[in-house]
Structure 1
Amino acid sequence: MKLLLMFSAVIAGTVLPIQAALNGKMGKAVGDPVYAAFISFVVGSVGLFAYIMFARTDLSGIAYARQVSWSVWVAGLLGAFYVASVIILAPKLGVALTFGLIVAGQLGISLAMDHFGLLGIPVHTINWQRIVGILLIVSGVVLIRNF
């Protein structure tokens, strides 16, 4: 089961550069990366709504969203920031460098979140192997940038 989940994560990662390229085209078409991000979120919301209706998902759990801290709602703003940033950066830096830097940033904050158990996640302490992994990613970003 874990192997299937890991494969799913890889597949999810493969769609991000495709999304970046397509959103970049939308940004050029509408003349503004924020408009392109907005369009992307509207289309995604319509897609999720269609899935909910098709799958006949039980919507009663949505009511619990009112009970969470306001800080949890910031996730939507972070998603908008991410998509708008990728739309701006990918055409200027290239998709490979943009996502190399994004992955480096993701892994850096992920190590800190794991180590300190931030936002209630289980603690996984930083060790030398994880640090080497980050250094290898950063080295890959340097190679992508220079060549």
Structure 2
Amino acid sequence: MQILPLLILLLAGAATALQGPTNARLATAVNSPLNAAFISFAVGTVALGCLAVAMQTRPDVSAMKALPWWAWMGGLYGCAFVISAAWGVPRLGVATTITLMVAGQLALSLILDHFGALGVARQPLSLGRIADVALVIGGVVLVRRS
């Protein structure tokens, strides 16, 4: 496996740790996690628009029309993530908030992989994969108690 894609994913994951306290601070200033998420998505939309123009990307409209309904829901999941992080960080701290979110991501990921849901390749549950998620959940408990 090439190292660059792995580093990019690692940095993207690290950015989620920055997103929580950044949006929590914004939520305090604008009076709610919902307002902070709205601003966060507005800034992100502008950034994505600029990138799309700079990279001269164009969507395939016919392919978009053929998508199932659930393929359009990614932004809703992002809203839930941003609002939850903005709410959780001031109450639980960055580490606990992020580890809880990662534990939730991993638990659902196992289910999606096992059933091949939403078009992903099937990867059956195994004791090792279940143990991986259990260890992360154990990490949540350790982070919270420390």
What TM-score, normalized to structure 1?
0.92
**Distance of 2:61 and 2:21 partners within structure 1:** 32
**Distance of 2:65 and 2:49 partners within structure 1:** 19
**Distance of 2:59 and 2:33 partners within structure 1:** 35
Extract unaligned runs of 5+ from structure 1. none
Question: For residues 46-125 of structure 1, what are the structure 2 equivalents within 5 Å?
Answer: 46-57=46-57, 59-62=58-61, 64-125=63-124
Deviation at 1:4? Answer: 2.5
Is 1:31 matched up with 2:23?
no
CA offsets, 1:2-24, max 9 Å, x none?
43322221111000111111111
Aligned partner letter, 2:83: A
**Distance of 1:52 and 1:63 partners within structure 2:** 19
**Distance of 1:75 and 1:53 partners within structure 2:** 22
Provide closer, same or farther for how the CA distance between residues 62 and 29 of structure 1 changes in structure 2, counting only shifts above 3 A. Answer: farther
Aligned partner letter, 1:36: A
Task: Report the aligned-residue RMSD.
Answer: 1.4
Decide which moves more: 4-13 or 86-95. Answer: 4-13
Is 1:139 matched up with 2:138?
yes
Provide closer, same or farther for how the CA distance between residues 12 and 77 of structure 1 changes in structure 2, counting only shifts above 3 A. Answer: same
CA offsets, 1:10-61, max 9 Å, x none?
111000111111111111111111111000000000001111111222x142
Provide closer, same or farther for how the CA distance between residues 33 and 60 of structure 1 changes in structure 2, counting only shifts above 3 A. Answer: closer
Is 1:10 matched up with 2:21?
no
Bigger RCO (CA 8 Å, 6+ sep) = 2
Q: How many residues align?
A: 146
Provide closer, same or farther for how the CA distance between residues 111 and 60 of structure 1 changes in structure 2, counting only shifts above 3 A. Answer: closer
CA offsets, 1:40-83, max 9 Å, x none?
000000001111111222x1424532332222222211111111
**Percent of aligned pairs with the same amino acid:** 38
**Distance of 1:3 and 1:130 partners within structure 2:** 23
